[in-house]
Homo-oligomer: A and B are copies of this chain.
């Protein structure tokens, strides 16, 4: 926010961000349930000052909608597969409505048997995983989510894009407070960060990417044309491979390479699967649910005692500010969205 002068900003409330998003998405062609599901997540991103998952996403959504590959109105087909498994076929629409429709059944199953999985198939990826994780923690379960993307990332020791940016997110419900939530790409940085460096003509740090010859580069454009690297060396690469397997072949859906082939240069959002696991602390923890919750709280308190922050703290602080005072969005972005004409 600090890089923009005040006159170059537009003041918006949370409700206005939602209304604008829904109008654009509906105008571009999404059915009302899909437009609302996507608008809710864009609003959450803008509200939490995750700019890259807020209004900034709208032009890209419109491009994906206009790519012709996305279903604009498919009702997700939810299947109750087993006492521990729900399968939601998004039928080539955005993932969010499938998640919303299936989440209550996932939580019901976790509460009954301890651990349960929600498999979302044939969905176009939208946005971050943390809004889904937060939703599940609000229902009282711990949750983990992962999804592949496009084959932009080289495995450790490799030279070419093969793995996705493969995000993993996790959440833990906390009585009377915001949940513990993290959500990160297993690539060294998000692809969007790499693009921002390219646009700004700024060099990237070593360890972010390789050029087309497979050599380390500090040139963002060269790395975008070459391959990104994972965070954390061979450990990050192993974790990314796990996500590729678990949210791809395990659940009967595409790997990042297959998803990229499906896209075939359209540059739409990745179409693939998503795996979400939910864990009920009562069933998993045995009888002492309050003792166990207190154990977790003691852990979180110890972070604070030594000056370490929990992963989503900055986001929650932004949320408080946004709900109290509204948000400021760059006028250039606002104008770009209005110019879409919806």
- A interface vs B, CB < 8 Å? 81-85, 87, 112-117, 119, 121, 142, 144, 154-160, 162, 168, 170, 172, 180, 182, 184, 186, 214, 231-236, 238-239, 241-242, 244-246, 248-252, 254-255, 257-258, 277, 279, 281, 283-288, 291-293, 295-296, 298-299, 302-303, 306-309, 311
**In the complex, what residues of B have CB within 8 A of residue A233's CB?**
231-232
The reply to whether A295 and B82 contact each other, CB–CB distance below 8 Å, is no
Please tell me if the beta carbons of A281 and B250 are within 8 angstroms of each other in the complex: yes
Residues of B within 8 A of A287 (CB): 252
Q: Which residue of B lies closest to A302 (CB)?
A: B162
State in angstroms the CA–CA spacing of A182 and B186 once bound together: 16
| Complex A-B, nearest 8 residue pairs according to Cβ-Cβ distance, in ascending order | A232-B232, A158-B308, A182-B238, A85-B114, A252-B286, A84-B113, A84-B84, A252-B285
How far, in angstroms, from A168 to B170 measured CA to CA in the complex?
Answer: 15
- Contact at B231–A235, with CB atoms within 8 Å? yes
A277 nearest in chain B by CB position:
B115
Known: A281-B250, A283-B85. A115 touches B114 (CB 8 A): no
Copies per assembly? 2
Q: Are B158 and A250 in contact (CB under 8 A)?
A: no
Q: CA separation between A157 and B308, bound complex, in Å? A: 5
In Å, the complex CA distance between A277 and B284 comes to: 12
Contacts of A288 in B (CB 8 A): 252
B159 touches A295 (CB 8 A): no
A299 near B245: Cβ-Cβ < 8 Å: yes
A254 neighbours in B (Cβ, 8 Å): 295
Instruction: Determine the distance from Cα of A81 to Cα of B280 in the docked complex, in whole angstroms.
Output: 13
A160-B299 contact in complex given A115-B116, A235-B232, A250-B284, C-beta closer than 8 Å: no
Q: Are B279 and A246 in contact (CB under 8 A)?
A: yes
Tell whether, in the assembled complex, residue B170 and residue A242 are in contact, meaning their CB atoms are under 8 Å apart.
Answer: yes
Q: Is the CB of A113 within 8 A of B306?
A: no
Which residues of B are found within 8 Å of A307, using beta-carbon distances? 157-159
**Chain B residues, Cβ within 8 Å of A85:** 113-115, 283-284
> Which B residues touch A236, using CB under 8 A?
231-232, 235
Q: Inside 8 A of A142's CB, which chain B residues have their CB?
A: 245-246, 250
Given the known A-B contacts A82-B112, A115-B115, are A251 and B162 also in contact in the complex, defined by CB atoms under 8 Å? Answer: no
Measured CB to CB, the closest approach of chain B to A110, in angstroms, equals 9
Residue of B nearest to A288 (CB): B252
A87-B286, A255-B295, A284-B250 given as contacts; is B311 within 8 A of A234 (CB)? yes
9 further contact pairs, Cβ within 8 A, besides A85-B284, A156-B308, A162-B306: A82-B112, A82-B283, A83-B84, A84-B115, A142-B250, A158-B306, A162-B299, A251-B284, A252-B286
Separation of A269 and B271 alpha carbons in the complex (Å): 46
A242:B182 contact, CB within 8 angstroms: yes
Instruction: Choose from B159, B285, B302, B309 the contact partner of A249 (Cβ within 8 Å).
Output: B285
Q: Which of A180, A279, A288 has the most CB of B within 10 A?
A: A279
Give the shortest distance, in Å, between A236 (CB) and chain B (any CB): 6
Instruction: Choose from B87, B121, B168, B302 the contact partner of A257 (Cβ within 8 Å).
Output: B302
Residue ID in chain B nearest A243 by CB atoms:
B170
Give the CA-CA distance A156 to B234 in the complex, in Å. Answer: 20
